[in-house]
Structure 1
Amino acid sequence: MKSTIVNIAVALAITSLGACSRDDDHPGDKLELVFEDNTYQLTGVAKESNGRLLVNYPRWSDRYQYAVVTTSGKTGKVPYPDVSTNEWQHGLSGLNKWVCVQSVYFDDGGTLWVLDPSAPRLETIQGNGAKLVKMDKQSNTISRTYSFTNILADTSYVNDVRVDVKRQYAYLTESKGGGIIVADLADGRMRRVLQAHYSTISDPAYKFIIDGRELMKDGRPAKFNSDGIALTPDGDWLYYKPLSDDKLYRIKTEYLRDWNRTDGDLGSRVEDLGHFTTTDGMIFDAKGNLYLGDLQGYRIVKLDTNLKMTTIVKDDRLIWPDSYSIADGYLYISCSQIQKQPDYNNGIDKRTSPYTVYRIKI
């Protein structure tokens, strides 16, 4: 009888453990799974108000299918805007095709932007294809292309974008060399500023410890420079930070839009806001709250207008929360699992679950 009781207890324990490991069985769950891909690594997410959900896939390995898709249900996807635009090959021009898309973004006016650093495997820009693309809302065709060819080195990697619809300016981060790109969308002028400024370079002394060890690549600590970027609802302040340390910075956009200001002068205008989290992307809601990830702590946090930080959700499914989109009262979060890539694990792919997009009510 004693043996029977023990066996029943063990069976119940195993059943309980199995149930807890499932994504769809979290009592009181704050995270809602909206999309998953078990094969291809995604990074960016963009949710249209009362409309489509798009995700993008960078060309970081041979395991690659499409650059940008519109999702259908939790697993379905359709190449956006069509198959042809997703069919770039080495040796071809990258001006009118997706080469290596890093992020997708809906601005406050509902316009979709596609950011293509055009650097497969994070190496060098191919086909003069580094560009920011504005899509036409009605026809889903390319409305205008802003090329970075004249302002970036071939080794650059443009990472994320925010658009001020009212003033018609775009602000972008460059994550390899560090820096902010300012683009006048009306006349097409661009310039790169704050290159190698301390606010756009990851602190070399910071140990980026994730999953119990310092993230390493090729035997050296992995460092990611200016990456996350966010624009306040009024467009007056640009917030940004290097990825692999916990510092956060901001600068008034009026300074960035003044083309007569030198890089040295702009550097003196940067405000150091202090230590918060290591995050990839970040985004403001309409009330001025700033949402960031915590790559080391598997969290999403919120900074209010007084920079008070609170945890919104902590969950082991948030495996490298990457990009963010806000629509319909939800925060959408893509999880790219970058720390599990072979590059950071001596050539071993440590991913054991799908790449995902979740949403949380805010």
Structure 2
Amino acid sequence: MKNNFIAAVLAVTMTGMIACSKDDDHGERKLELMFEDNTYQLTGVAKEENGRLLVNYPRWSDIYQYAVVITNGKTGKTPYPDVATNQWSHGLSGLNKWVCVQSVYFDKAGTLWILDPAAPKLETIQGNGAKLVRMDKQSNTIARTYSFTPILADTSYVNDVRVDVERQYAYLTESKGGGIIVVNLADGQMRRVLQAHYSTISDPSYKFIIDGRELMKDGKPAKFNSDGIALTPDGNWLYYKPLSDDKLYRIKTEHLRNPGMTAMDLESQVEDLGHFTTTDGMIFDEKGNLYMGDLQGYRIVKLDSALRMTTLVKDDRLIWPDSYSIADGYLYISCSQIQKQPEYNNGVDKRTSPYTVYRIKI
């Protein structure tokens, strides 16, 4: 990357940090509770324009009921698309069942996508079930399944997805080994790129301090690789980042779609945008504003097209803001409380409030 570009990025990043410190929008927007679950840990949220609100639950522990549900009021839920699809058990094929769903997503055409890394308890892929599924809007049945079996190791965990409706491509993050998966939705061809590149691997020197201490697992600092992913409204840029550091990266999607580019060619096209927040998910609105969480600061921030960062809301209820969806003029936010899980607290479950979905006017 050229020096003048780095200087420009640093300048706007510093401007963003200054703007953020002012908390310009803090207090003007309030969280509105849309759904809560006192028992089961949710991660993903997808809101249909003028329609349904869906959440998903990964199979991360034995406290588990359904993978995907349609919510009904603050606490009601109906398994989606039916009970049978949610009833997978060890030894069964995972191709037509939800095994361990991580993300649900509505693209801008209103099509629902369900991402199933199929790795219960974040261990290994089961039943050849790692897949991206497109649902049929009319029948609420599986329209097409894109299996990741040909390109992923059993230890992989596909995490989040964005779909370019016009070009018919999907982009996904793999959060264990680090990398981006590119899927041609028309012919089903896929490849994994930027595997273990510095932009998809959490900075080993970054201390992920949350709730006053560094997040630890098994006596070592907890590290989460490429996770959050966002596609600009024109589909020209893919933004992504590791979870457990504050760096943000982007790359032109034309390069990702070009199978003739070598690994070295692609790596040379990655742009380092600088330091912002530790976020899990992220999402663009139609105006080109990027919304991210701040896991350490219990807030939601907005980056404009010049990378100026402002605080949208800061609230103690934002316990690990996880995934995002935009519909009806609102940003929907799921809170998964990951830092309170037993494996990050010497076996003690520190959850004291429900898993939740909020929304905020944008």
**Normalising TM by the smaller chain, what interval?**
over 0.9
How far residue 29 of structure 1 moved from its aligned partner, in angstroms, is 6.4
Larger radius of gyration: 1
Aligned to 2:40: 40
1:199 matched to 2:214? The reply is no
Aligned to 2:280: 280
Aligned to 1:59: 59
Task: Pick closer, same or farther for the CA change 1:29–1:164 going to 2, 3 Å.
Answer: closer
Aligned to 1:164: 164
1:247 matched to 2:226? The reply is no
Separation of aligned partners in 2, 1:226 and 1:295: 15
Q: Do the aligned residues in 1 keep the contact of 2:29 with 2:312 (CA within 8 Å)?
A: no
Aligned to 1:94: 94
Aligned to 2:343: 343
How far residue 332 of structure 1 moved from its aligned partner, in angstroms, is 0.1
Separation of aligned partners in 2, 1:265 and 1:119: 32
How far residue 270 of structure 1 moved from its aligned partner, in angstroms, is 0.1
How far residue 112 of structure 1 moved from its aligned partner, in angstroms, is 0.1
| % identical aligned pairs | 87
Aligned to 2:271: 271
Q: Do the aligned residues in 1 keep the contact of 2:229 with 2:282 (CA within 8 Å)?
A: yes
Separation of aligned partners in 1, 2:125 and 2:176: 12
How far residue 264 of structure 1 moved from its aligned partner, in angstroms, is 1.1
One-letter amino acid matched to 2:126: Q
Task: Pick closer, same or farther for the CA change 1:172–1:99 going to 2, 3 Å.
Answer: same
Aligned to 1:143: 143
Separation of aligned partners in 2, 1:111 and 1:64: 27
One-letter amino acid matched to 1:154: D
Separation of aligned partners in 2, 1:118 and 1:328: 31
Aligned to 1:154: 154
One-letter amino acid matched to 1:271: E
Separation of aligned partners in 2, 1:260 and 1:135: 31
Separation of aligned partners in 1, 2:257 and 2:119: 28
Q: Provide the secondary structure at the position in 2 that maps to 1:266.
A: helix
How far residue 207 of structure 1 moved from its aligned partner, in angstroms, is 0.1
Q: Do the aligned residues in 1 keep the contact of 2:215 with 2:221 (CA within 8 Å)?
A: yes
Aligned to 1:180: 180
How far residue 172 of structure 1 moved from its aligned partner, in angstroms, is 0.0
One-letter amino acid matched to 2:63: R
Aligned to 1:13: none
Aligned to 1:119: 119
Separation of aligned partners in 2, 1:50 and 1:214: 41
Separation of aligned partners in 1, 2:82 and 2:98: 11
Q: Do the aligned residues in 1 keep the contact of 2:29 with 2:360 (CA within 8 Å)?
A: no
**1:184-333 to 2 correspondence within 5 Å?**
184-333=184-333
Separation of aligned partners in 1, 2:189 and 2:65: 33
Aligned to 1:22: none
What do the CA deviations read for 1:120-139 (whole angstroms, capped 9, x no partner)?
Answer: 00000000000000000000
How far residue 230 of structure 1 moved from its aligned partner, in angstroms, is 0.1
Q: Do the aligned residues in 1 keep the contact of 2:29 with 2:313 (CA within 8 Å)?
A: no
One-letter amino acid matched to 1:55: V
Alignment length (residue pairs): 336
Task: Pick closer, same or farther for the CA change 1:144–1:69 going to 2, 3 Å.
Answer: same
One-letter amino acid matched to 1:286: E
Structure 1 runs, 4 residues or longer, greater than 3 Å off: none
Separation of aligned partners in 1, 2:242 and 2:28: 34
What do the CA deviations read for 1:76-107 (whole angstroms, capped 9, x no partner)?
Answer: 00000000000000000000000000000000
TM value normalised by structure 1: 0.92
What is the RMSD computed on CA atoms of the aligned residues?
0.8
How far residue 28 of structure 1 moved from its aligned partner, in angstroms, is 7.3
One-letter amino acid matched to 1:109: A
Separation of aligned partners in 2, 1:75 and 1:128: 33
Separation of aligned partners in 2, 1:29 and 1:290: 17
Q: Provide the secondary structure at the position in 2 that maps to 1:198.
A: coil
Q: Provide the secondary structure at the position in 2 that maps to 1:166.
A: coil
Task: Pick closer, same or farther for the CA change 1:282–1:28 going to 2, 3 Å.
Answer: closer
What do the CA deviations read for 1:177-202 (whole angstroms, capped 9, x no partner)?
Answer: 00000000000000000000000000
User: 5+ residue gaps in structure 2?
Assistant: 1-26
Q: Provide the secondary structure at the position in 1 that maps to 2:356.
A: strand
Q: Provide the secondary structure at the position in 2 that maps to 1:197.
A: coil
Aligned to 1:19: none
Separation of aligned partners in 1, 2:138 and 2:150: 30
TM value normalised by structure 2: 0.92
Q: Do the aligned residues in 1 keep the contact of 2:29 with 2:361 (CA within 8 Å)?
A: no
How far residue 263 of structure 1 moved from its aligned partner, in angstroms, is 1.1
Separation of aligned partners in 2, 1:94 and 1:212: 40
Q: Do the aligned residues in 1 keep the contact of 2:231 with 2:283 (CA within 8 Å)?
A: yes
User: 5+ residue gaps in structure 1?
Assistant: 1-26
One-letter amino acid matched to 2:308: K
Separation of aligned partners in 2, 1:264 and 1:345: 40
One-letter amino acid matched to 2:54: L
One-letter amino acid matched to 2:205: A
Q: Provide the secondary structure at the position in 1 that maps to 2:199.
A: helix
One-letter amino acid matched to 2:39: T
Q: Provide the secondary structure at the position in 2 that maps to 1:339.
A: helix
